[in-house]
Structure 1
Amino acid sequence: MAFQLEREQRRLERKIEALRGREDLPEPVVDLVAALARLQLEAISTAEAEVPSKQDMASAEMVLQGAPLWPRESFAVDLKQSRELAGKVLDLLAETGERNADAAATLRRALESGELDWAEAVNKLIMADDSFFQTWAEQTPDAPDALRFVIQASITPSLQAVAMGVDEQREKGTWIHGHCPVCGSLPLIGHLEGKEGQQHFTCAFCRTAYRSKRLMCPFCGEQDHTKLSYFYADEEPGFQVHVCESCKMYFKDVDFRELDRTSVPVLDDLESLVMDMLAQEKGYVRPVPSAWGF
């Protein structure tokens, strides 16, 4: 389905309103996430997306073997738009407490002075260069993930715009691998659809939604049902945590099929933070950060 900004904006506002009704989510957090989500959504349609041609993508044979169509390191970001968004993200971050304000000021000075090169920083995130971010974490010790957060928030519209173009050329159906068929990254969160509960995932990097196998760990590929299980919490209807005993990792699944609730994957992730805490208390690990760095 083609991207329709107004439809997605209405869906987003319904979801934000639902989040505001939760006592476990501080108002400043919801305000920050709401503002960021609105910025990102509006920016998708204006991002200058460099969508590759079908000939440049992975061949059908490679895809059958599990190769993504366009691996994350090949994604081109709209640097002008993302740099402008970074300034707005820093403004929002500065309003969320003294520690974040100090980190935002440090990063803004570094960008304006040239100490921090935006294009290089974006590339480091795309290439998952943890050593680069560790160095900057030492400069913002009270908010060590600030730079990663700002970059991710600022480039997500570009990533989504490219991914949408790539996904339009993908053969739809059940993807038998756990990673994203577009960029190859791990899933952020799952959701069930249809009467049969078809398993779908949303990519943590490019936000592509894709259908996957139901009984399979998306992280290690385990398919032995005796090693796969899930749990839920009565006080959090609509959310499940699926765990794998082989790799001890977990993912959250959203099941709103019988509930009158709006699903927006990146906000479902925030809404279900308590499920992360329960999973981690049981000794399971989430291999990807949350959509918002919390």
Structure 2
Amino acid sequence: MQPLLSALRIAASGALGWVREYWQQGLCPVCGSATRVGYMRGEGRRQFLRCQVCGMEWVFPRARCPYCGADSPGDVVFYRPLESRQWLRLYRCRRCGAYWKIVDEEDEAAAERGLPPRELYDTYTFVLDAVAEMLASKRR
């Protein structure tokens, strides 16, 4: 299924050029899958979400929850829970409880150590899933 959806994304990429800049949801605009992973890079360290199913990537505001849309000050918080990997960020929405994982590709230490391909970011950041579960259990 994944190769088919990747091919669909590639075929539709010309028609969906605007989506990359303006899509404002955590669901992929191509295949509809929910995403929990992304990266930051470029001027102002723009945040991109990345679909783990078809590979679509789109810009998303850092201070907004991709699941409930919360964007008031304090709604979205982020953590850098790993001292040895400060380029891994865990974002969490205080309003709905959702979380997503971001790799800061511009971090100097990350550049020195080398990052895996983006296709592997979800696996590469698996420890953040455990941290998110721990934070969720503390909320209860």
Please state which band the TM-score falls in when normalised by the shorter chain: 0.7 to 0.9
CA distance in 1, matches of 2:116, 2:65: 22
Identity %: 25
| Residue of structure 2 in register with 1:274 after alignment | 127
The residue that corresponds to 2:28 in the other structure is: 180
Question: What displacement does 1:229 show?
Answer: 0.1
Q: CA deviation at 1:224?
A: 1.3
Quote the residue 1:195 is aligned against.
Answer: 43
Match of 1:169 among 15, 26, 41: 15
**Out of 235, 242, 253, which is 2:84 matched to?**
235
Whether the 8 Å CA contact 2:52–2:122 is kept in 1: the answer is no
Equivalent position of 2:106 in the other structure = 257
More relative contact order, 1 or 2 (CA 8 Å, 6+ apart): 2
1:253 aligned counterpart, secondary structure: strand
Tell me how large the CA RMSD over aligned residues is: 1.8
TM-score (norm 1): 0.41
Q: Which residue among 55, 61, 64 is the counterpart of 1:213? A: 61
Pair 262,168 (structure 1): closer, same or farther in 2 beyond 3 Å: farther
The residue identity in structure 1 corresponding to 2:47 is Q
Unaligned runs of 5+ in 2: none
**Which structure has the larger Rg?**
1
Any conservation in 2 of the 1:203–1:209 contact (CA below 8 Å)? yes
Over 3 Å off, 4+ runs = none
Q: 1:244 aligns with which of 93, 98, 102?
A: 93
More helix by share: 1
SS in 2 for 1:190: strand
Measure how far apart 1:235 and its partner are.
Answer: 2.3
Q: Does the 8 Å contact 1:174/1:213 carry over to 2?
A: no
How far did residue 194 of structure 1 move? Answer: 0.6
SS in 2 for 1:226: coil
State the aligned residue count: 130
The DSSP-based 3-state class of the residue aligned with 1:283 is helix
State TM-score, norm by structure 2: 0.82
Aligned residue identity for 1:190? G
